[in-house]
Amino acid sequence: MSYTLWNDKIVDDQQVSINKEDRGYQFGDGVYEVIKVYDGEMFTATEHIDRFYVSAEKIKLTIPYTKHKLHQLLHELVEANELKTGNLYFQITRGTSPRNHLFPGSDAVPVLTGNVKEAPRSIENGKNGVKATFAEDIRWLRCDIKSLNLLGAVLAKQEAHEKGSYEAILHRGDTITEGSSTNVFGIKDGVLYTHPADNYILSGITRGVVLTCANEIGLPVEEESFTKKEALQMDEIFVSSTTSEITPVIEVDGCAINGGVIGEWTRKLQKQFETKLPVASTTI
């Protein structure tokens, strides 16, 4: 038996019912988060919950629970499902109301749902690296909001998959922004580069951990954008996310990065990242 978070209760999956006029279904009117669970512990849960509330505020959606209450509910969801290693997904929509582009009145109550999924760490990708492809960034201009509107990212990810790649590295014109579901980093001459956290990217929680790790190992960071041409000339490229952790990119559209060999700085960052995880989850 598996359990779902439905508003302020943990219930059997079969008990959950979502109205056909829920604005999340009709308009993508809501926000979401994904937390990685290692050895039964939620990793960077506070940061994810904080961003959840920030995203909701940006779309003028009031979450009817305190952060402490939400944290408690998510913890209970993990425990109820006896999740060891996997992903915890949760979202909130503006609620149910007759279809209308305008926000509904006060009678519409936000709908919170959450579920978990067993998912092992991507150890092989981290060890061996992955291929990527460039794709035009066709998404809207508020990528800083982790909204339910993901079609642009879905199309880019599908394009990458059809080309035999793990990730699509998005660009607006020649400027690299981020991946379809990751943040993108390049290392050149001992300096780490990544797009600044503005409205063109989602400031990833794992991105923040990476920047902390870089500081701890003495790798200088420049939060500035770089071009497609500069990307192909990087000494190292990697992507990061909650589910991808730190994944090296060894090839982009047939062009080998660093001769297809994962660089030393990326390896050092991976090792430093491991020190942040529950001991039972580490692989070093």
Residues classed as catalytic: 146
For the chain, how far is it from start to end, CA to CA, in angstroms?
34
The one-letter code for the residue type at 257 is I
Report CA dihedral (31, 35, 40, 43) to the nearest 10 degrees.
-130
User: DSSP strand E in 96-244: where?
Assistant: 111-118, 130-136, 167-172, 175-179, 183-188, 191-194, 221-222, 236-241
Distance CA 103, CA 108 (A): 9
Q: How many CB atoms within 10 Å of residue 203?
A: 17
Residues facing residue 238 across a β-bridge: 185, 248
- The H or E element that residue 124 is part of is helix 123-128
Distance CA 11, CA 236 (A): 46
Indicate the SS3 state at residue 223: coil
